[in-house]
């Protein structure tokens, strides 16, 4: 229910009651592989064209271990419910590894 009233020369609108949509999918669960590529490019300061599924984080993008850890933290922040352990960071060597990890977490659609 939406109500409007005027007070001190302005209009104030209030919302009565809102109920969340049942079964709504959070936006973060609908992100695509291109969104992952964009996040990687932004976080590592490279052009998105240089980020493909075969791109190696260290050899192709120049990311050291700390850069990769910071990237994984950014990924966890972006994708609700994703957890990337230190062991995962060691195993995620190329962008495709990261995408597969997120797909296994059911957070990214192909």
The CA distance from 98 to 102, in Å, is 6
Which residues are known to be catalytic?
64
Taking the whole predicted model, whether its pTM rises above 0.75 is answered as no
What is the per-residue pLDDT across 9-48, written as a single tens digit (0 to 9) for each? 555 544 444 444 444 334 345 568 888 999 999 999 999 9
CATH of the domain at 64: 1.10.1200.10
Residue-range definition of the domain harbouring residue 28: 22-104
- Confidence at 110, pLDDT banded by 50, 70, 90: low
- How many domains is the chain built from? 1
Residue 28 lies in a domain: yes
Residue 3 lies in a domain: no
The CA distance from 28 to 80, in Å, is 6
Residue 100 lies in a domain: yes
Residue 83 lies in a domain: yes
Residue 33 lies in a domain: yes
User: Which residue has 């590529």 as its token pair?
Assistant: 37
Residue 69 lies in a domain: yes
Residue 5: CB partners within 8 Å, gap ≥ 6? 11, 12, 14
The CA distance from 8 to 95, in Å, is 56
């Amino acid at each position: 229910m939406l109500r409007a009233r005027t007070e001190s020369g302005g209009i104030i609108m209030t919302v009565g009651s809102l109920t969340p949509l049942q079964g709504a999918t959070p936006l973060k669960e609908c992100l695509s592989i291109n969104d992952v590529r964009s996040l990687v490019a932004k976080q590592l300061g490279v052009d998105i064209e240089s980020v493909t599924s075969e791109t190696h984080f260290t050899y192709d993008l120049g990311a050291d271990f700390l850069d990769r850890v910071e990237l994984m933290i950014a990924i966890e922040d972006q994708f609700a419910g994703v957890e990337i352990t230190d062991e995962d960071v060691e195993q995620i060597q190329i962008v495709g590894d990261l995408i597969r990890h997120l797909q296994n977490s059911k957070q990214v659609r192909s």
